[in-house]
């Protein structure tokens, strides 16, 4: 699934410029918004067996218009300064779009985590966290990393532990998000990006008029979906869409892809991959596709690239059969590819919106850490008692007594997971309304990405007005 060199910064800047041209914002302010404020490039030695390996790593902070800065850390052989800078810029626009009050950042460690033991990975991660701390590049009010490609809750707990050892304090655990729930994490963070993809697509598909223009029926139910990338984002997106009536017809991974127009069960596919080490030979009526990238060209209604950047370009954009492309990955579609898709009447749902669920729930985790209280702890029982009182009055009034199951459904007070998911859904619905409204209002703008960029740029610009300029 690897792609040739992709000019990621060039792509993000092109998208930015296309949108900026439709605004009346001062040129200097636009230049400041676009610029990456700081990048820390580091090299450090890590002892692997009897050898010393020099590890290259990065952390880019794109914008300090809101603090802290925020964004994941990716472990990948392809990590580079250009890549983290492009990803950090996307984080700025993403956070602004969904009203998460952070600047954008991103980190990368240039390793293939599969080639390291757990102990070695721990050493690399802790050393990276230590380097960040030494240069004041991490902290609950400074820069707050999170999981990205190749990292998860385990890495975040190592980062937290390293940071807290050197900087103890009541808010110290807010230095990183995506932590295990037992270590200050929030329920629902692991699946948040995938769940956000589902909420976003569900919202988009609910507009009858928009669906008609695409030649589709309204509603996500019954839609045929191909997912590229079966990692944390792609897997949960597939599972939640499947559980809510969507039909997952194709799954692509780097070793190959499988396709079944009748539908695949994401849980069974994951189990098969875990057991055999490959997605191929899944059976159950699915056909194997050896050339993984060509799976993107199979028939479906919605195509969800959830792996890496630059997978849909001018080379394959004309062969895509989907009517909607949901960018769950960051930067999966190149500007030339996007142009072809838009011309063909295909709707591209931009990354900065569709995958914002991860950072949104990271924001909730950070709030939980700073407030030192679990969501739902203060009001769950109170709400439950109030609902029970109301229900009692209704039962008296109507003469009908509800069953215990019905009562539970009506009076249930929100647990942490309920509150997190409802906050996430509200965020995805609210942000889409802003993008759609902007698209309707702007003249000569025909795609959701340009509209989304316009919304973000205006928000960041308003944060700069009259500020940060020293005479």
Residues of the shown chain interacting with ligand GLU in the complex, contacts defined by CB under 6 A: 70-72, 146, 148, 177, 330, 355, 358-359, 362
Position of minimal CB gap to ligand GLU: 72
Among 363, 382, 359, which residue's Cα sits nearest to residue 371?
A: 363
Nearer to ligand GLU, 106 or 223 (CB): 106
HSE, side-chain direction, 13 A CA sphere, residue 258: 22
Beta carbons of 224 and 302 less than 8 angstroms apart: yes
CB of 366 to ligand GLU, least distance (A): 9
Nearer to ligand GLU, 193 or 313 (CB): 193
Among 96, 65, 62, 98, which residue's Cα sits nearest to residue 81?
A: 62
CB of 356 to ligand GLU, least distance (A): 7
CB of 448 to ligand GLU, least distance (A): 18
Nearer to ligand GLU, 55 or 86 (CB): 86
CB of 138 to ligand GLU, least distance (A): 12
Candidate list 106, 202, 223, 368, residue with the active-site label: 106
Nearer to ligand GLU, 72 or 188 (CB): 72
Task: Report in angstroms the alpha-carbon separations of 430 from 20, 97, 191, 348.
Answer: 22, 10, 20, 18
CB of 236 to ligand GLU, least distance (A): 13
Q: Over the Cα atoms of the chain, what is R_g?
A: 23
Beta carbons of 354 and 385 less than 8 angstroms apart: no
CB of 100 to ligand GLU, least distance (A): 9
Task: Report in angstroms the alpha-carbon separations of 90 from 17, 118, 275, 329, 361.
Answer: 14, 30, 36, 11, 17
Q: Exposure of 343 by Cβ count < 10 A (0-12 exposed, 13-18 middle, 19+ buried)?
A: exposed
Beta carbons of 64 and 92 less than 8 angstroms apart: no
The 8-class DSSP code of residue 98 comes to T
The alpha carbon torsion through 163, 168, 174, 180 (nearest 10 deg) reads 70
CB of 149 to ligand GLU, least distance (A): 8
Nearer to ligand GLU, 211 or 359 (CB): 359
CB of 82 to ligand GLU, least distance (A): 16
Cα–Cα distance between 311 and 258 in angstroms, integer? Answer: 18
Contacts 24+ apart (CB under 8 A), 159-167: 159/73, 159/125, 159/126, 159/128, 159/129, 160/184, 161/126, 162/125, 162/126, 162/129, 162/130, 162/133, 163/129, 163/133, 163/138, 163/139, 166/130, 166/133, 167/133, 167/139
Nearer to ligand GLU, 96 or 279 (CB): 96
68 cis-preceded (ω within 30 degrees of 0): yes
Cα–Cα distance between 175 and 182 in angstroms, integer? Answer: 16
Coil, helix or strand at residue 413: coil
Q: Is 135 noted as a catalytic residue in this protein?
A: no
Beta carbons of 201 and 222 less than 8 angstroms apart: no
Active site residues: 106
């Amino acid at each position: 699934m690897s792609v040739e060199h992709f000019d990621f910064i060039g792509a993000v800047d092109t998208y930015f410029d296309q949108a900026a041209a439709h605004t009346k914002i001062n040129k200097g302010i636009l230049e400041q918004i676009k610029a990456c404020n700081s990048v820390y490039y580091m090299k450090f030695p890590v002892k692997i067996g009897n050898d010393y390996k020099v590890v290259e790593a990065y952390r880019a902070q794109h914008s300090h218009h809101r603090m802290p800065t925020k964004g994941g850390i990716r472990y990948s052989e392809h990590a580079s300064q250009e890549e983290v800078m492009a990803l950090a810029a996307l984080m700025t626009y993403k956070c602004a779009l969904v009203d998460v009050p952070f600047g954008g950042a991103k980190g990368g460690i240039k390793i293939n985590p599969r080639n390291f033991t757990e102990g070695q990975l721990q050493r690399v991660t802790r050393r990276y966290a230590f380097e960040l701390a030494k240069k004041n590049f991490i902290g609950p009010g400074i820069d707050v990393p999170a999981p990205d490609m190749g990292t998860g809750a385990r890495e975040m707990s190592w980062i937290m532990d390293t940071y807290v050892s050197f900087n103890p304090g009541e808010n110290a655990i807010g230095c990183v998000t995506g932590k295990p729930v037992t270590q200050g994490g929030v329920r629902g963070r692991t699946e948040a990006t995938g769940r956000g993809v589902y909420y976003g697509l569900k919202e988009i598909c609910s507009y009858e008029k928009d669906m008609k223009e695409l030649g589709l029926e309204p509603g996500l139910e019954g839609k045929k979906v191909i997912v590229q990338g079966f990692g944390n984002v792609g897997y949960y997106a597939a599972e939640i869409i499947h559980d809510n009536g969507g039909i997952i017809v194709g799954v692509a991974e780097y070793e190959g892809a499988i396709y079944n127009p009748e539908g695949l069960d994401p849980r069974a596919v994951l189990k098969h991959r875990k057991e055999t080490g490959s997605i191929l030979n899944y059976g159950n009526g699915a056909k194997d596709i050896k050339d993984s990238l060509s799976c993107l060209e199979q028939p479906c209604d919605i195509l969800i690239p959830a792996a890496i950047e630059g997978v849909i370009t001018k080379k394959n954009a004309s062969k895509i059969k989907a009517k909607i492309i949901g960018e769950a990955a960051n930067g999966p579609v190149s500007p030339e590819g996007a142009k072809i898709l838009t011309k063909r009447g295909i709707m591209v749902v931009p990354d900065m919106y569709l995958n914002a669920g991860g950072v949104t729930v990271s924001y909730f985790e950070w709030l939980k850490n700073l407030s030192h209280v679990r969501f739902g702890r203060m009001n769950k029982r109170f709400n439950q008692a109030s609902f029970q009182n109301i229900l009692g009055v209704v039962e008296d009034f109507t003469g009908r007594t509800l069953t215990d199951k019905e009562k539970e459904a009506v009076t249930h007070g929100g647990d942490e997971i309920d509150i997190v998911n409802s906050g996430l859904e509200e965020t995805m619905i609210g942000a889409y309304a802003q993008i759609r409204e902007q698209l309707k209002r702007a003249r000569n703008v025909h795609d959701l990405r340009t509209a989304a960029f316009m919304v973000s740029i205006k928000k960041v610009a308003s944060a700069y007005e009259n500020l940060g300029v020293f005479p």
